[in-house]
């Protein structure tokens, strides 16, 4: 897939941070203030499955087997979702993507260039506390201490090379995401207001 001309002028931000880093909360605040479109690959996959489309039926088969969804499929879902909103969105927040360096490179080759990476950096202990607190009400099966530790390890092992790559080309804005939601958002505003 060649890059999409309709997406060449819109600002695209990858939003990265470990589980419990507050990415989703901050994305909600960015959408409310700046009019960006928030896209999560997990949500896009679940929506496609729920739609009952042919692609959704294929995804169901893949996920039922426990296989990973092919990168081309994920890129196609992102590309389609972005094209639907390209004429009205003031920017895109791609939440939790890329998880591995190849995904980022393929996105830029096949969809569009990335303006910057918003990286919410939080101590593992803080993320663990936040997730255990969320577990009290979330009902999520992955919000337990053993799984949280594994998720944090996976995040560091796979996503750090992504952050290092984009940092080398001066595209990473690191947000120390400790403190209150509003304090963290104030740091984000300081960055986005200059863009």
Q: Measure the CA–CA gap between 21 and 19, rounded to whole angstroms.
A: 6
Q: What is the per-residue pLDDT for 17?
A: 93
Cβ–Cβ under 8 Å, residues 111 and 14: no
Residues 6 or more apart whose Cβ sits within 8 Å of residue 151: 18, 19, 142
Token reading at 73:
């499929």
Structure tokens at 84: 């639907």
Mean pLDDT, the chain, whole residue set = 90
Local structure of 35: helix, strand or coil: coil
Widest CA span of the chain, in angstroms? 46
* φ/ψ of residue 129, rounded to 5: -60, -45
What parts of the chain have a pLDDT lower than 70?
1-2, 66, 140-143
Tally of residues, the chain: 195
Could you give the angle at the alpha carbon of 158 between the alpha carbons of 190 and 191, nearest 5°?
5
CA gap 10, 12 in Å, rounded: 6
For residues 187 and 176, what is the distance between their CA atoms, to the nearest angstrom? Answer: 9
Residue 55 CB contacts under 8 Å (≥ 6 apart), including other chains: 48, 73, 76
């Amino acid at each position: 897939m060649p890059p999409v001309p309709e997406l060449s002028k819109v600002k695209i931000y990858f939003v990265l941070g470990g589980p419990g880093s507050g990415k989703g909360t901050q994305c909600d605040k960015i959408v409310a203030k700046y009019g960006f479109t928030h896209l999560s690959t997990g949500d896009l996959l679940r929506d496609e499955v729920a739609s009952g489309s042919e692609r959704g039926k294929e995804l169901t088969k893949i996920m039922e087997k426990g296989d990973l969804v092919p990168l081309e499929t994920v890129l196609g879902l992102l590309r389609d979702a972005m094209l639907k909103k390209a004429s009205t969105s003031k920017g895109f927040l791609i939440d939790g993507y890329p998880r591995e360096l190849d995904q980022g490179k393929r996105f830029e080759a096949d969809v569009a260039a990335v303006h910057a990476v918003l990286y919410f950096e939080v101590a593992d202990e803080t993320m663990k506390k936040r997730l255990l607190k969320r577990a009290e009400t979330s009902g999520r099966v992955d919000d337990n201490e053993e799984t949280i530790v594994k998720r944090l390890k996976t995040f560091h092992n796979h996503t750090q090379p992504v952050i290092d790559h984009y940092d080398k080309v001066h595209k990473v804005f690191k947000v120390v995401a400790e403190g209150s939601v509003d304090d963290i958002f104030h740091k984000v505003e300081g960055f986005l207001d200059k863009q």
